[in-house]
Homo-oligomer: A and B are copies of this chain.
Amino acid sequence: MIGLGTVGVGVVRLLEQERHLALKKIAVRDLKKERGVALPCELTASVPEIIEDPEIEIVIEVMGGEQPALDFIRRAIERRKHVVTANKELLAKHGPELFALARDNGVAIFFEASVAGGIPLISTIHKGLEANRISAVIGILNGTTNFILSRMEEEGESYQSALARAQKLGFAEADPTNDVDGHDVAYKLSILSALAHGRFVRPESIYRQGIRKVSAADIAQAREFGYRVKLVGMTCLADPDSAGGALSVRVHPMLVPLSHPLAAVSGSNNGILVRGHAVGEITMVGPGAGQMPTASAVVGDAINLASALALPDFASYFQPEIDPTWAATAEPGDFRCPFYLNLSVSDVPGVIGQIGTIFGNHDISIQSIIQRGVQDRGASVIILTQAVLDSNMASALAELQQRDFLLEIVNAMRIFQPEAIHAP
């Protein structure tokens, strides 16, 4: 094993009870650090000592980060070690290369822990739903932001206050950028794309919007309409009948209908919906992070790998088929869904009419519009639209912003409407 941080210690704990699998060596940076767990084997400060050991068949990588993990895994694969990794950043950025290298060397990369922590997503898609063409994977893939949004709804807290709470409880890091701006979800979507659609997606080509702008007022307003605000990530075939075609890969806050299983994903849990042409929709909910859930995924992979070692040439059976090229991505503007808008406008006659006209010009049908209590500065207008093209909404909002009556676009959030993406 390379690395002995939180997850590594969890792996050591779980393997204590395992009879058929043993750690031979663990590489760490600091040999003297207290680990809080009985060590089952010798520590080493030298990763090559592990990679070059001919007795070692499986390398577990739980150090995280891009480098030097990338070099270590490349060399392990070249030495024909099977790899178990929890490293989402590494796979999202270098998946095509690593899976091609693994195939050439006849070894397997198992990566259940890299997405959605303890939720056994990869075995589900790769084995359980084998008979399906998967058209979409849609989920709440970041526990930190889900915790923050849940707090904001349940306690009426501000984003800042809920973030501070998450930091205090250890759910969020001091610099929360990676979570709250959607980078973490983008990495996971790249991996899920490989799993569901056979190709990784460059993280930088994923349309990404975080939760910093979501307010407790928007959450309360959404709730009144029967929705809950969630940070939703998705990777969908742009054309559901065209496997191998472009993917629509995005992460942004969405209003999820309260009746949908994803709305019930609370606190730091993750939830993932998989849509297959035969099965319809399957949703899985569980801990998306944390020491033991993540270790559960790592050790599960290791056990499955170890018990398969007796089978000759098994890697091709276990490894999802992943193309060594990056996926093409659809234009973000081509995405269709309804919108929730919170506008602050001057309280002058005819505003609603003007808004309606602008929207009409951009092919946007309004489903409901509510003008709320006139304040000092003007009035608040809340609009729910029918499903519209993202690009049309963007141009309508740009036009709105030219108008004198518009004080501020307080928020514009998409509404999760599964049937608008594409039906099962």
Residues of A within 8 A of B (CB): 10, 14, 17-18, 112, 118-124, 127-133, 259-261, 263-266, 276, 278-287, 290, 292-293, 295-300, 302-304, 307-308, 310-312, 314, 317
CB distance from A130 to the nearest CB of B (A): 4
A285 touches B286 (CB 8 A): no
User: Known interface pairs A278-B118, A282-B120, A285-B261. Does A132 touch B307 (Cβ–Cβ under 8 Å)?
Assistant: no
18 A-B pairs within 8 Å (CB atoms) are namely A14-B278, A17-B133, A119-B282, A120-B127, A123-B124, A123-B127, A127-B127, A127-B304, A131-B296, A131-B297, A278-B296, A279-B297, A280-B287, A281-B286, A281-B287, A282-B285, A311-B312, A311-B314
Q: How far is the CA of A209 from the CA of B287 in the complex (A)?
A: 32
Q: Which of B14, B127, B260 contacts A131 (CB 8 A)?
A: B14
A283 touches B286 (CB 8 A): yes
Q: Inside 8 A of A290's CB, which chain B residues have their CB? A: 280
A296 touches B264 (CB 8 A): no
B308 touches A296 (CB 8 A): no
Q: How far is the CA of A283 from the CA of B130 in the complex (A)?
A: 20
Residue of B nearest to A314 (CB): B311
Additional 9 contacts, C-beta under 8 A, given A129-B296, A284-B285: A120-B124, A122-B128, A131-B302, A263-B264, A278-B295, A282-B286, A283-B284, A283-B286, A308-B317
CB distance from A40 to the nearest CB of B (A): 15
Residue of B nearest to A10 (CB): B278
Q: Inside 8 A of A131's CB, which chain B residues have their CB? A: 14, 18, 295-300, 302-303
CB distance from A254 to the nearest CB of B (A): 17
Q: How far is the CA of A385 from the CA of B359 in the complex (A)?
A: 55
B118 touches A124 (CB 8 A): no
